Amino acid sequence: MLNGNPANALHYLTRGAGLLVRPGLKRFVLVPLLVNLVLFVVATIALIHVYRDLLTQLVEWMPEWLAFVAWILWLLFAFLLLVVYGYTFNIITNLVAAPFYGILAEKIEQELTGKEPKPESLSALIPRTLARELTKLWYFVSRGFLVLLVLVVLWFIPVVNLASALISVLWAAWCMSVQYIDYPADNHQLEFREMRRRLNTESLTSYTFGGLVMAGSMIPLVNIFMMPIAVAGATIYWVEELSIKELSTKKT
């Protein structure tokens, strides 16, 4: 049974964007934005070169009688590269800026609840958050490989292969949801498996949240601001829905 509300996901992201401009929180957004800006320049330049080279090779390889479909392939390559671009940009940026996003999530939760978090030194925070990012990266790579195998098998089955696009989108959305909800969850040192279980109990909200983040990450310039907004939105989602599940679990 599917639970959750897709409208909640959009609500959390828009509220998160509003929180980031508050005077007490803006300074915690500055460093992640600078990291995003540097990586954006590098990733975008790489994207342009890769796209240009691939398109040139495709045109040279294509027989003349298929030249009329070149524009269709141009659009297809553009879309696929944007998906890869958005996904890669997210993974690299989050790996580099993980400690800063953890702090940002902590300060946003404090703003929402009025509760002071347990003190933690940077010498303890940085290695813990980086270790958690590597745990997530392994999860994405290992599960992603299995998803890829399923997609390859489906590709050779007529009609059924149309489902491969849907599976790709759902997997990308789930990854984005896991990526950002984990920041507030990790601040409470919630086990990674338990965090994923809670996300799955509100599947419609979680998949929509991740899908919106993924869509924003695919758009150059927008992706610079999308990640701090995603952290803020995910923290609201955690405070208002997912953290409450710990209480309900203890009562049963």
Instruction: With beta carbons less than 8 A apart as the criterion, state whether 199 and 223 touch.
Output: no
Mean pLDDT within 239-252? 67
Q: What is the rounded distance in angstroms from the CA atom of residue 79 to the CA atom of residue 116?
A: 44
pLDDT recorded at residue 251: 47
The residue with tokens 């990266």 is 137
Q: Does 179 or 77 have the greater pLDDT score?
A: 179
Q: Does pLDDT of 205 surpass 90?
A: yes
pLDDT at 221: 77
- SS3 category, 191: coil
Residue 177, CB-side half-sphere exposure with 13 Å CA sphere? 31
Per-range mean pLDDT, top range of 40-44, 53-57, 73-77, 137-141: 137-141
Neighbours of 66 (CB within 10 A): 10
Other C-beta atoms lying within 10 Å of the C-beta of residue 70 = 13
DSSP conformation class of 1: -
Give pLDDT, residue 139.
93
Cα–Cα distance, 42 to 52 (Å, whole number)? 16
Distance CA 78, CA 50 (A): 11
For the stretch 169-195, pLDDT in tens is 899 899 999 999 999 998 888 999 999
Average pLDDT, the chain: 80
Is the distance from CB of 230 to CB of 176 less than 8 angstroms? yes
Under 8 Å CB-to-CB from 202, ≥6 apart: which residues? 3, 4, 241, 242
CA angle 125, 128, 132 (to 5 degrees): 135
Residue 87: the pLDDT is: 67
Per-position DSSP letters for 109-127, written without gaps between them: HHHHH-PPPPP--HHHHHH
